[in-house]
Structure 1
Amino acid sequence: MPNTESLDGLLRRVRACTICAAHLPLGPRPVLQAGTSAGILIAGQAPGRKVHVSGIPFDDASGERLRNWLGLTREQFYNPALVAILPMGFCYPGKGPSGDAPPRPECAPAWRAQLLTRLPTITFTVVLGQYALAWHMPNAPRSVTEAVRDWRSHWPHAIALPHPSPRNNGWLKRHPWFEAELLPLIRARIAAVLASKE
């Protein structure tokens, strides 16, 4: 498709996508959010089962924690004019050996670059998990923990975070500096991006 396609037109095509259908235990249901004026990009992994059912990104305990980490209300978080939410895989990939399976590998090459070129006002990217890290911060340490510690390397344009899943409660206990030192800086950065949109 030519680059003249609007974001809305591209989103319609993405939401109708079936390229991974044969590999998706619950069938395709792409879940994403984007608007041309968004200043914040949340690059996650893939929707979980609950999000597959609701069709609303981060409509689960992980989302509640993420909104708290970022200092965003539900209204702000779900406003596509402010926040774009593009997981590395748009559909629920099914269960894996520990937690959900990885995002389907077909998704990002098919859609990601096309979507990102239509988000010209992104000024801060929140990178969640190793698959998003590999795409958005290819030169960052491969370990999510090391990438989080190395936050100054991409600041103020991007930040790597541990996944906000309750499965990571142990990580948060082992790294108290994350909530004590880093989250206040992230909330201030998010607030500055939002203020620039007003």
Structure 2
Amino acid sequence: MLNKQRKLGHCKIKTLFLLGQAQTQTQHSQKKKDSNKRRQRSKKMAGAAGIRRKMPQRPPPPPSVLPPRPSNTLPRRPFYVDREKTCPLLLRVFTKVGSHHSREDFAVRGQEPKNEFQIYTWKDATLRELTDLVKEVTPAARRRDARLSFAFVFPEKQGHLVVRLVGKTFSYGSGEMDDGKALAQLGFQIGDYLDVAIF
């Protein structure tokens, strides 16, 4: 009787042990399945992200078209300076009635001719504009038949001063000669003097 009970007890223990092993294996296989599912999901997500990165970008918007210039604005000169945004330059102007000054008159710095006035202007200033400024300062230039001759005074490569004629105007413009020529078009450089002969 005791032997039978012992055998039954052993059988029960063995059965419980086998059940425990089976449950452990089941849990282990379930964990494997869950991990495999997670990997597949992560791969799908990575693939979807890669596809998104490879999607073509939208083309940039077309450049905005500038509005046409209003009809009441003046046409630009051949050489144009935005005078509202560009600082003016200081121009030293020397006048003489009957002829131009010689280069010897400018040889000694600080002893230039006395009949000088200074103006602030820009490189696109025309000879007509400069003529009107000279007339405000020099009475001889206001004569009805007065003619003005313009020359730049500047040092050449060797250092010697040069007086170079650049244009002529009438005191009261006739629309001819060199009225519309700008300083920059005539080769003016900042630092040059302007010599004006009045005839």
* Structure 1 length-normalised TM: 0.19
Q: Report which of the two has the higher share of helix.
A: 1
* Structure 2 length-normalised TM: 0.19
Larger radius of gyration: 2
